[in-house]
Amino acid sequence: MGEETGSSVGRENQNTKNESTQEDSGVKYYTRKEVQVHNMGKDTWLIIHDKVYDITSFMEEHPGGEEVLLEQAGADATESFEDVGHSTDAREMLQQYYIGELHMDDRKKESKKEVYITTSKDSRSWSTWFIPAIAAVLVGIMYRYYTLEHKSS
């Protein structure tokens, strides 16, 4: 009897991994496979920045037409969304279609961009004034040269 309970708990845990999960915070997590199923006009989900949106009711209202949304339906539309350059209003409007997050296991690993930070104040301060100073001196020399040349002609 004790073994039955243990095996049924094991089966429950296994099933939970295959279905969308919900953390204590109330956020629902979806796998890519779950999102991919919602790829039709009457049932359309998108992933944008690892967030899942059910945009089915927005399809007919989309200013760019529903075809562009259908092309991305059931998939990660982050790149397309950003390439278009949506307004702040569009980004705020997107929030009303939010239904959950992409499961951590399905998120793309972002390549770490190398960031170079200069901590020395000396190198930063001299470059701030040195380059404009050189440019000013060159402009002054050129001005002098051309004004003197034109006077002598």
Residue 135 lies in a domain: no
Residue 146 lies in a domain: no
Residue 59 lies in a domain: yes
Q: What is the DSSP string of 51-95?
A: EEEE-GGGGGG-TT-HHHHHHHTTSB-HHHHHHHT--HHHHHHHG
Residue 117 lies in a domain: no
Residues 6 or more apart whose CB falls under 8 angstroms from that of 102 comprise 29, 30, 31, 32, 35, 47, 50, 51, 52
Tally of domains in the chain: 1
Domain that holds residue 40: 27-109
Residue 81 lies in a domain: yes
pTM of the model: 0.57
Q: What is the CATH number of the domain that holds 38?
A: 3.10.120.10
Q: Please report, in tens digits, the pLDDT of each residue of the chain (153 residues total).
A: 444 444 434 333 333 344 455 555 688 999 999 999 998 989 999 999 999 999 999 988 888 888 888 998 899 988 888 888 888 888 899 899 999 998 888 787 654 555 555 555 555 566 677 788 888 999 989 888 888 776 665
Residue 55 lies in a domain: yes
CA distance 49 to 108: 10
